[in-house]
Every structure is written in C-alpha cells, then in structure tokens.
Amino acid sequence: MRPAELRDHERELYYFQLRIGFAGAVVLVAFALLFARFFYLQVVQHGRYASKAEDNRISIVPIAPNRGLILDRNGVVLARNYSAYTLEIFPAKVRDLERTIGELGAVVEVQAKDRSRFRKLLAETRSAESLPIRTRLSDEEVARFAANRYRFPGVEIKARLFRQYPLGATASHVLGHIGRISTRDRDRLEELGVEANYRGTDFIGKAGIEASYQHELHGTAGVEQVEIDAAGRGLRTLARTPAQPGNDVKLTLDVRLQQIAEDGFGERRGALVALEPQTGAVLAFVSRPGFDPNLFVDGIDPAHWDALNNSPDRPLNNRAIAGVYPPGSTFKPYMALAALELGKRTPRSTIHDPGYFVFGERRFRDSKPGGHGTVDLYKSIVVSSDTFYYQLANDLGIDAIAGFMQHFGFGARTGIDLEGEASGVLPSPQWKRKRFRLPEQQKWYPGETISIGIGQGYNAYTPAQLALAVATLANQGAMYRPHLVSQVENPRSGTRRSIGPELVKRVPLRAENVEFVLRAMAGVNREGTGARAFAGAQYTSGGKTGTAQVVGMKQNEKYDERRVSERLRDHALFIAFAPLESPRIALAVLVENSGFGARAAAPIARAVLDYYLLGKLPAAPVRPAPLEAAEDAASD
C-alpha cells in the first residue's frame, strides 16, 4: 500500500512540475511576443514614430460648443451667452499659490471673494484643470497682465463664454442655473459615456431646465489641432473641426404672465403652477422666493452661497415640485366627485350641519361655528362645509378615497420635465404599512379617515400635483403630462423638434358628474368663498379656496417669537380654471403661512387669469424693468 501511495505522490508531483514547465514556456512565449512588438515599434517603425513625436507638436485642443439659448413662448430670451476674458491658474504648475495670487493682485484687481471662490474651486476639482482667479477682465487688465505674463508661469488669460440670465430672478426655479462641472458631474458624464464631448467644457446645468435639458443645450465639442513649441505653447492652428452649438430650447411659459404671477406673491413665500388643460403646457411656474441665477455662472462665492443656503426662507427649494403641503379644502371638489361617481351622494341629498361631526368619542369641528345649516352637495363646495366632508369621508372609507384620488395624480410625480420632483403622500392603510415600522403606527385608525375628507391629516401634495388635478378635472378627466418645453431648435440648420402634448390617461368619469362639480366651483367664484376675489370678472371661472393647517411643525428659533408664530400660521390655497365653458387655463396657488385661501391666494389667481384671458395688467405697480443686459460683458 505504502509504496503505491508514494509512487502516486511522486507521479502527481511529476505532473505538477510538468505543468509548471508548460506555464514557464507560455510566459516566455508571451514575453517574446511583447519583445517582438516593442522591437517592431521601437526599431522597425522607429523612424515613423520618431517623426510623429517630432510633429507631435500638434496638440489636440477641444473647442467647447456654445450653449443653446432658453426662450419663452414668445421668443423672449431667458438665458444666453456672452464672451469675456478670464485669468486662470493651473494649480499643478504653480509652486506657491498664495504668493502667485498675491503678486497677481498687484497687476489686476483680486478681491477677497475672488480668492475664496478660487479656494472653493480648488477643493472641488481635479488638479489638472486651470481654475479662474478672476473673471470678466477689462481690456486694460488684459493688456496689463499680457505685459507681465513672463512673471507668472502657470497663469493664463482665456476667452470664455459665460451664461447670462437677462431677467435676473424671474422664473429662476424654471431656468435653474449652471455651475462648474464637479467631480461628481464628471463621473456621471463618464457613466453616460459622453465625457469626451465635455472636454473643454467647464459648465453644466445644475438645476431646472438647464439641468433637465442639459444634453440638448450642450451641443457637440469641436477639435482644433494646434501646433505647439517645445515648451508647449500654441503657435498656430493647423486644422479645425468646429463645435456644433447646442439646441435652443423654447418654453411653454409666457414670461409676462410669469412676472404677474411672481409679483402677486410680493414678499410672501409660496408657489403657483398654471397649466393649459388640453395640452399640459405650463403657462406659469412660480416658486417664491427665487434666486438670481446669475450668481452661479462663474462659480458662486461662499458669502452668497451661505446666504442662499442658510436662509430660513429656503430660496433654493423649488416649492412647486419639491414642496409638499396638505391641500386643505381644495380637496373637496374631488371628494364630491368621488361621492357622485361611487353613488354615495346625489346632487339632491342633504345633511344637517350643526358645526361639528361626532365620531366615537371625538368631535370634529367645522371652521364655521354653528355650522352651515342644511347643506347639499352644491352648497358644500360653495360655502366649504367641513361637516359635510367629515361625514362623506366616513361613508366612503379610506380605501375608496385613495382609490379614487389616485386617478387625479394625487401622491404621484406629475412627470414634469424638471428634476427633483417629490411624490407627496396619498394616504391609505397600505401607505401607512409601508411608511411606518412599529405595528401600532402601521395600523390605520378609522378616525384618521375623517380629516382626510377635508384635505388634512396625512394628505401632502406638491402644488404641481394640485394644478395637474384641477387641469384634469377641467378637461373632463383627460390628463396631459405637464411640460415646460414646447420646442427644441437647432440654431444652425433651423431644424425644429416639437414636444407635443402627451396624454397620460383618461379618467373614466360620467360627464354630468364632472359638469356638476365644475358648476359648483363656478359657484364658489360667483357666490361663495371666492366671490370677493372674482368680483367683476369679465369671464366665467371656477375655483376652490383652501386653508391648510401647518401641523406638527417644530421651530428651534426661540428668540424670535413673532417669526415663529408667523411660520406656524396656516397656508392659503386656491385652485381655479377659466373660462367655465371650455377652460383654457387651470392653476393652483399656494401662499405659505398666510391664513385664508380666499384672502391671500385667490387674488393672485385672479391677476393671472385676468392677464391670460383678457391681457389685462394688474392695477398694482408693474415690476421694475429687467436687469440691464450685458453692461459688464463682451470685451471682444
């Protein structure tokens, strides 16, 4: 036994060593192959490559394409480009950055904010790139630096294109802004496989249309072959494939209407979204406060950034699609429609409203003490009876409510062509199970259904969702995806691509039920809670006021009591459409912490409808003229 095993062992070892030998032979062959290749490149083809290297005084320089323009529906320019000189430093080629910057300060003006912006960029970007220490140099500064250039190796003057938003903060949450390409952006571009097209480009859309239509606006990079001397300096251009400019993007927005809507808010915070019901085109899109996107174009300086980022008003937050709010009584028309569709109420059935609704031990109070007396379905919308809807919610049950409301897009992203949309919350037992961990929190309590009926409780929707819902209602249940861009145009060839209406779905509804609810909403503006705001209107319209409680809001700014209480005030809401017969516009307005919807939100809707339907400007002073254009621009 033993000798056999030993022999076996030896045989195994023999085979192993055979394989080692085989592997060694493979290694040698592979290395010989590499040697052959090196021999071919370095000896046989040496002459060819040596002259290529000699000619490799040809540097391939990418040419950044011109970014496309953004225009409103009438062709008003909202974003454009201008060219200016910048002074840029290659951090990798400069030994002592601080000293160089200090010495540069003697030649051209370098302010503290320029330094801090430079330091911020330095921390954010890869070292191989050149970074601006000064932007928008004057001709005199260019000349002065050129004369002193020999003193500053690694510092260069470059002509760059800058983005400009001529109307300043107008529609800032639609346009968004551009910013320097960050390491993270680069990673994303590489992931998409388009990084080569971005060589030479410094800026990229960061928010709004600038971000969501980045690939349209960007264009195609060109290539320039430049002859360089032994030190790497450019001598002359040998060949050039020009860059293809990015496409111009035309919005559905009417910038005049937009300005009227924005002015309506004054200093108050809030959002407004106005849609064309038959197409989903966004006519006005407001989120207040806004910001001046021009601050971002050559790298925002830290002081401005902190001010924007830390403001309690959160001006960078796009409330229209990312803010979620309870809809309050603007929920009632849909509840009424649900009651009709599901056969829980008829137009003739009435209830008695004593001013409260008792459920178990709890008493849900109406906003009107003493109640509205005898209330039918029509009156329940016109006077906004809470008791009616407490009862209705209880009769329908949460599953029926949630099932019906999702038809109108509540609790789902609208699919608008902007990034960062929130989905909101359409409450249901199912949602609660998913949302919470603890079993007692996961349970749906019947009492919770009651306040859902008046748009409170867990209800939370974005203003864009509220606008889409009312547009869908006004359009007999046909829902069109909201979109801000109507057309993309190639500025060279003039080829246009229209982005047409996209039907999302047709909610199956009975026409007479929709008619009934729309007529009740017209009653709101004629004789109900919206009547004061719409007094004397020369067109028919429907509306619904809403007041949403700011629940469970905690505030840690204890020192300013006045402000705290202001932040805990109710939100004012209003949804509307006009004209009644064939609605051409539908909108939702939300004004944060402003109390009653009838008082704070409805007048804004009125101003928007007046202008859109009649071309009438509001009586209030028109906003100041737009920022003067390119006073500090184009030195060439």
Partner 1 sequence: MELARNPLRSLTAYLAEGIDGTLLAIALAIAALGLVTLYSASYDQPGRVASQATNLAVALGAMWLVARVPPQTLMRFALPAYLLGLLLLVAVASFGDVVNGARRWLHIGVTRFQPSEMMKLALPLMLAWYFHRREAGLRPLDFAVGAALLALPVLMIARQPDLGTAVLVAAAGFYVIFFAGVGWKPLAALGVLGLASLVPLWGLLHDYQRRRILMLLDPAQDPLGAGYHIIQSTIAVGSGGLTGKGWLRGTQTHLEFIPERHTDFVLAVFSEEFGLLGNCLLLVLYALLVGRGLMIAANAASFFARLLAGSIALMFFTYVFVNMGMVAGILPVVGVPLPFISYGGTALVTLFLGLGILMSVQRHRKLVQT
CB atoms within 10 A of CB 141: 18
C-beta of residue 463 within 8 angstroms of C-beta of residue 273: yes
- Measured from the CB atom, the residue of 51 and 74 that comes closer to partner 1 is 51
Taking the C-alpha atoms of 467, 473, 477 and 480 in order, what is their torsion angle to the nearest 10 degrees? Answer: -20
263 touches partner 1 (CB under 8 A): no
Instruction: Tell me the closest approach of the beta carbon of residue 203 to partner 1, in angstroms.
Output: 18
* Binding-residue pattern over the window 174 to 203 for partner 1, x denoting contact by CB under 8 A: -------------xx-xx-x-xxx-x----
- Measured from the CB atom, the residue of 36 and 620 that comes closer to partner 1 is 36
What's the rounded Cα separation, in Å, for the pair 441 and 429? Answer: 11
Contact segment (CB under 8 A) with partner 1 among 39-47, 343-351, 380-388, 604-612 equals 39-47
Instruction: Tell me the closest approach of the beta carbon of residue 13 to partner 1, in angstroms.
Output: 8
What's the rounded Cα separation, in Å, for the pair 286 and 608? Answer: 12
- Measured from the CB atom, the residue of 42 and 498 that comes closer to partner 1 is 42
C-beta of residue 322 within 8 angstroms of C-beta of residue 421: yes
Q: Which residues touch 458 (CB under 8 Å, ≥6 apart)? A: 425, 427, 431, 432, 448, 452
- Measured from the CB atom, the residue of 199 and 510 that comes closer to partner 1 is 199
419 touches partner 1 (CB under 8 A): no
Of the candidates 49, 553, 555, 617, which one interacts with partner 1 according to CB under 8 A? 49
Contact segment (CB under 8 A) with partner 1 among 29-37, 321-329, 345-353, 445-453 equals 29-37
30 touches partner 1 (CB under 8 A): yes
- Measured from the CB atom, the residue of 191 and 440 that comes closer to partner 1 is 191
Instruction: Tell me the closest approach of the beta carbon of residue 222 to partner 1, in angstroms.
Output: 10
Of the candidates 31, 420, 506, 582, which one interacts with partner 1 according to CB under 8 A? 31
Taking the C-alpha atoms of 96, 97, 99 and 102 in order, what is their torsion angle to the nearest 10 degrees? Answer: 170
* Binding-residue pattern over the window 87 to 126 for partner 1, x denoting contact by CB under 8 A: -----xx---------------------------------
Instruction: Tell me the closest approach of the beta carbon of residue 255 to partner 1, in angstroms.
Output: 38
Instruction: Tell me the closest approach of the beta carbon of residue 216 to partner 1, in angstroms.
Output: 20
What's the rounded Cα separation, in Å, for the pair 31 and 14? Answer: 26
- Measured from the CB atom, the residue of 37 and 151 that comes closer to partner 1 is 37
* Binding-residue pattern over the window 227 to 246 for partner 1, x denoting contact by CB under 8 A: -x-x-x--------------
Give the ranges where 528-560 is alpha helix by DSSP (H).
none
Of the candidates 6, 12, 266, 498, which one interacts with partner 1 according to CB under 8 A? 12
- Lookup: tokens for 544: 């619904």
- Measured from the CB atom, the residue of 152 and 444 that comes closer to partner 1 is 152
- Lookup: tokens for 627: 């920022």
Q: In the range 124-163, which residues lie near partner 1 by CB under 8 A?
A: 127
Interior angle at CA 300, CA 295 and CA 304, nearest 5:
80
Q: Which residues touch 565 (CB under 8 Å, ≥6 apart)? A: none
CB atoms within 10 A of CB 266: 11
Contact segment (CB under 8 A) with partner 1 among 12-20, 138-146, 450-458, 511-519 equals 12-20
What's the rounded Cα separation, in Å, for the pair 43 and 361? Answer: 97
- Measured from the CB atom, the residue of 229 and 361 that comes closer to partner 1 is 229
Contact segment (CB under 8 A) with partner 1 among 17-25, 313-321, 330-338, 546-554 equals 17-25
Catalytic residue chosen out of the listed positions 130, 287, 329, 594: 329
What's the rounded Cα separation, in Å, for the pair 449 and 203? Answer: 50
DSSP, residue by residue, 259-322: HHHHHHHTT--EEEEEE-TTT-BEEEEEEES---GGGGTT---HHHHHHHHH-TT-TTS-HHHH
Burial (0-12, 13-18, 19+ Cβ within 10 Å), 280: buried
17 touches partner 1 (CB under 8 A): yes
- Lookup: tokens for 274: 């106005």
Contact segment (CB under 8 A) with partner 1 among 49-57, 309-317, 599-607, 610-618 equals 49-57
Q: How many CA atoms lie within 13 A of 133 on its CB side?
A: 25
- Measured from the CB atom, the residue of 45 and 442 that comes closer to partner 1 is 45
23 touches partner 1 (CB under 8 A): yes
Respond yes or no: is residue 541 known to be catalytic: no
Phi, psi (degrees; rounded to nearest 5) at 133: -100, -30
C-beta of residue 433 within 8 angstroms of C-beta of residue 442: yes
Q: In the range 565-604, which residues lie near partner 1 by CB under 8 A?
A: none
Interface contacts to partner 1, rule CB under 8 A: 12, 15-17, 19-20, 23-24, 27-28, 30-31, 34-35, 37-39, 41-43, 45-46, 48-50, 52-54, 56-57, 59-60, 62, 92-93, 127, 187-188, 190-191, 193, 195-197, 199, 221, 223, 228, 230, 232
Residues annotated as catalytic (active site), given as ranges: 329
